[in-house]
């Protein structure tokens, strides 16, 4: 898997002889660190973010002094320190869960669930045509073969781990989220013992509604129509080739008739 997915997206590993401050820097968290340390080159520089990464490091080290070092404790401390150091975070006082994101973290779901006994993993799948059409817009896009290998591997591991951990590994389609986010995500939240919040209805950043999701991803408008229009940008030959690559998952996710 290390040859397929960059280490910055993976569940981290830590050197046995490292100090806590070294562990902190081993957690790549690229976008946050770029925004905090070199905001002028961050693609999120237009959004307010009162955050000192050195302060986060110091808070992290203090947490580890209390818990000791382990991969689970290291990651839990990192999440706690992140929100402790975020000065303009729009807190409600009712927060009970820390949420992180990586596009391919599902391949490491077994490690996460073993390291953090109270954790859950949510895998969100998008139809392969729209997904590939959007990734083609990146400055240096992956080849179709490379991208589809990654896409199919992600679905394999997500479904496999859902069988192994049915109460803690969750899989939803982004198409269902787009069609009715309050219903799709609300059902999941209730399963996890969380409120079906009104904020589920639309993408937000720190409590502020986003007019478009970009640059948090290549999607700009997260609507069913925009999603289908994105898939339609592909040529007939591209759509057919993607169908061949992903055939074994098209029925599983009800994608067989998504495109012609």
pLDDT of 258 higher than 80 = yes
pTM of the model: 0.94
| Per-residue pLDDT reduced to its tens digit, 147-156 | 999 999 999 9
- Residue 142 DSSP class: P
CA end-to-end distance (rounded Å), the chain:
32
CATH 3.30.365.10 fits 120-260, yes or no: no
Length of the chain: 260
What number is the average pLDDT over the span 104-112?
97
pLDDT of 218 higher than 80 = no
Residue 126 token pair: 């998008």
User: Taking Cα atoms as reference points, which of 157, 77, 150 lies closest to residue 111?
Assistant: 157
Please provide residue 181's backbone torsions phi and psi, each rounded to the nearest 5 degrees.
Answer: -65, -35
Domain boundaries defined on the chain? 1-97, 120-260
| Per-residue pLDDT reduced to its tens digit, 34-53 | 999 999 999 999 999 999 99
Residue 199 token pair: 């904020």
Rounded distance between C-alpha atoms, residue 33 and residue 29, angstroms: 6
Using CB atoms within 10 Å of the CB of residue 131, give its burial: 0 to 12 exposed, 13 to 18 middle, 19+ buried: buried
Residue 85 token pair: 């150091």
What was the pLDDT predicted at 225?
Answer: 97
């Amino acid at each position: 898997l290390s040859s397929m997915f960059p280490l910055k997206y993976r569940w981290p590993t830590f050197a046995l002889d490292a100090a806590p401050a070294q562990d902190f820097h081993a957690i790549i968290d690229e976008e946050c660190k770029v925004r905090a340390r070199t905001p002028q080159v961050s693609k999120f520089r237009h959004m307010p973010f009162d955050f000192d990464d050195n302060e986060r490091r110091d808070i992290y080290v203090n947490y580890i002094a209390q818990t000791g070092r382990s991969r689970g404790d290291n990651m839990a401390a990192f999440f706690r320190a992140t929100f402790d150091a975020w000065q303009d975070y729009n807190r409600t006082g009712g927060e009970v869960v820390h949420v992180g994101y990586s596009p391919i973290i599902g391949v490491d779901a077994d490690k996460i669930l073993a390291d953090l006994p109270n954790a859950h993993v949510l895998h969100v799948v998008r139809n392969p045509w729209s997904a590939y059409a959007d990734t083609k817009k990146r400055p240096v896009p992956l080849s179709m073969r490379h991208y589809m290998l990654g896409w199919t591997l992600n679905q394999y591991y997500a479904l496999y781990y859902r069988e192994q951990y049915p109460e803690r590994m969750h899989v939803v389609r982004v198409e269902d989220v787009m069609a009715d986010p309050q219903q799709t995500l609300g059902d999941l939240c209730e399963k996890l013992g969380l409120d079906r919040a009104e904020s589920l209805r639309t993408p937000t950043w720190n409590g502020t509604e986003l007019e478009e999701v970009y640059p948090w991803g290549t999607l700009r408008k997260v609507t069913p129509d925009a999603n289908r229009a994105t898939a339609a940008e592909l040529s007939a030959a591209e759509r057919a080739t993607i169908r061949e690559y992903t055939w074994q998952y098209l029925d599983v996710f009800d994608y067989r008739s998504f495109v012609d």
